[in-house]
Copies of this chain bind each other. A is one copy, B any other.
Amino acid sequence: MTTTASARGREVRHRLLAAATELIPEVGWSSVSTRLLAERAGVAPGLVHYHFESLAVLLRQAALDVFRQALSGTEAALAPAPDLDAGLELLLASLDGYSGADPTSLLFIETYLAATRDQALGDELAELLYEFRSRLASWLRQHGAGDPEQTAAVLAAAVDGVMLHRALDPGLTSATVSPALRRLLATGPDRRRDT
């Protein structure tokens, strides 16, 4: 049980980040205070500014961690699908676990908003979005969807929009949106002119 000082420090950093991912959805990004954070993490208030340069840096790191984790989880969900329709069902099913008002969904929206007021956060978030859409596009291309890049962009946006609206309308489940989104993936009846 030899807990070195640096190991305890690492533990505290982790607890503070975990507390941030809890509190951002609960009280809102800009209402997460150093004292609230420290209390939730079970550490002394002064530790926040010892381990992190500022409150903004802490929140940014916590949010980006959750984002990366959620995106890779979503990608993993649709990996084993044999075709487009099956993949869409798997993707939507993996999202049925979120109500739109759950911590993860709210943290997503809070982060989108915070990104409009924090240049650094916005840059990193845009990069994550581009990478995710790129992988989604290549998956679509592999399974024969037309216009992979554009379709991926609209599908990603549509899914986020559904989560946004689901908080107001709990009936907006995968069963409800699946038929319409299937049409989105369908290879259009009119064939492409170029490329």
Q: A residues bordering B, Cβ < 8 Å?
A: 28-31, 101, 106, 109-110, 112-113, 115-117, 122, 125-126, 129-130, 147, 150-151, 153-162, 164-165, 167-169, 172, 176-177, 179-184, 186, 188-189
Tell whether, in the assembled complex, residue B126 and residue A101 are in contact, meaning their CB atoms are under 8 Å apart. Answer: no
Query: Within 8 Å CB of A116, what residues of B?
Result: 101, 106, 167
Question: Which residue from B125, B151, B168, B169 sits with its C-beta under 8 Å from A168?
Answer: B125
Chain A: interface secondary structure? Answer: helix
Q: With the chains together, A101 CA to B180 CA distance in Å?
A: 28
Would you list 11 pairs from A and B whose C-beta atoms are within 8 A, ordered by A residue?
Answer: A30-B31, A101-B116, A112-B167, A115-B167, A153-B169, A153-B176, A154-B162, A154-B177, A157-B177, A180-B184, A186-B189
Q: Which residue of B lies closest to A192 (CB)?
A: B179
Which B-chain residue is minimally distant from A110 (CB atoms)?
B113
Interface contact B164-A150, CB-CB below 8 Å: no
State how many angstroms separate the Cβ of A170 from the closest Cβ of chain B: 10
In the complex, the count of this chain's copies comes to 2
Whole-angstrom distance between the Cβ of A175 and the nearest chain B Cβ: 10
B156 touches A165 (CB 8 A): yes
Closest 8 CB pairs of A and B: A161-B161, A157-B161, A158-B158, A154-B180, A160-B161, A126-B168, A157-B165, A157-B162
Contact of A30 among B28, B150, B162, B186 (CB under 8 A): B28
Quick one: closest B residue to A28, CB to CB?
B30
Tell me the smallest distance from the CB of A113 to a CB of chain B, in Å. 6
Which chain B residue lies CB-closest to A127?
B168
B contact residues around A160 at 8 Å (CB): 161, 164-165
